[in-house]
Structure 1
Amino acid sequence: MPATTATAPVTIGVSLKMYFSHARTLAWTAAVADIAKEHPAVTSGAVDLFVIPTFPALVPVRRVLSEAAAPVLLGAQDLAWADEGAFTGEVSGRELREIGVDLVEIAHAERRSLFHESDQDIAGKVHAAFRNGLRPLICIGETERAVDGDPAAAIAEVTAQLDRFTATATADGLAGPLIAAYEPVWAIGAPQPAPDEHIVAVLAGIEQHLATRPELAGSVVIYGGSAGPGLLTRGAGRIGGLFLGRFAHDPEAIRTILDEAEALAATQDGAPA
């Protein structure tokens, strides 16, 4: 897969995790929708924007986005590996698709550490996403920082994760574009984020690996380890997108990132920023 170019949209998304009340989620969504429907980065197609609220908010968030005619994709924070049955507390990909969800987050480090999700669990969820027409947003990341700073070990580890997580689906002929969200576990919530050169190198390594997987053609790679403003600019077109967390709890922070993406797109197109 080629590196980000002027014709390749930057993918920017936000997961709200479990931080907001229902009322605050809807107010936040309305504010983001107002920004998205007018911001040149989104309306021009330079940015693909998505939001991932909690399960109870999915239907009303979809309604807010639709009523605002905002070009924003809707994501879910998880899904079950099964489509129906006696699975108390789970949510199926079939129902998520029915209510208008576009993509689903899978394999976040918190799901793996707090809820002990195995590679088999994750592979089953990726299978469920593909068979229900949902785009998997698969989180990958190494747990330990290399002492020598060499990104090669990180690239090997995260691409192996990606292969394991997609193996069940592709063995059954289920495939398509996915979003690979690179989040080095050691950088999440850390006082110092991952160095820019490490981020760029690992993202490039993931992109090169995906280029060997034609069944996943159209996939994009984004960065989500304590991502924030300035990273897209410093990446100079080598970062395909950002997966934002608490930084984006203020809708105006999203505008800041969109401004940055717009300026970067203008620079890549040869126009003044």
Structure 2
Amino acid sequence: MQTEVVTVGTDWSVGRTIDFLRHEEDLPDEFFDVFVVDDEHIPVGVISLSRILRSPRSMPMREIVDETQVIVPADMEQEEVALQFEKYDLTTAGVVDKAGKLLGMITVDDVMEVAREEFEEDILHLGGVGEEAISDSVWTAARNRFAWLLVNLGTAALASLVIGLFDATIKQMVALAVLMPIVASMGGNAGTQSLTITVRALATKELTPFNALRSVRKELAVGILNGLLFALLAGILTYFWFDNLLLGGVIGGAMVINMVVAGV
């Protein structure tokens, strides 16, 4: 937030405002909007410099002020502020305290910096590396990644245990060992796509408790549709590869179940 803002009174004229902007020394180096405030320093609206320069000098500021401005409370979360700028296509927004008095303003440059930091944080957490920086030591980087790799080891071991229950079947039909990585890979990619869409929806506040069930139903439908399509392709590939219709059906069914479960 920038505490240096240009404010004028509601009873000022355009001419007085222009003279003030020309001669006042204690002004920000760069500014594009002027805030109009009342006697209690509560913002009434905002006026762009271009609007001021195009208006007659005798016109009162209260007649050209834009009262539809977006005001940001000082305690609003950074992510919410960024969403307000995106929603209303803002370049600046006034910041007020609990009493509604103007404290300063936020510019689109400030919001872009916050958005960049949030984006980096989301990407790092999505990859399971936390706040790791390229300048971190080897020990720090290894420690940051250890927890997620340990979780991955646990899930991989669990999957291996499940596969081990059918080792006799795999020994009798070696083709299963060849085809299992295909099914697992497709499920992993489907899960990553669903996760990415969900994380983005959470970050942009598009996903709420009110539409969460709808989102689950949508991902379920997408998983079923893609599962059926790729099950058909995998089944045909398996049949021509190993000349085994039953094996093609098994792989196709596994593909559907895997992609549906991964998607939701």
* TM-score, length of structure 2 as denominator length: 0.23
- Flag the structure with more relative contact order, 1 or 2, with Cα contacts below 8 A and sequence separation at least 6: 1
Where is the helix percentage greater, Structure 1 or Structure 2?
2
TM-score (norm 1): 0.23
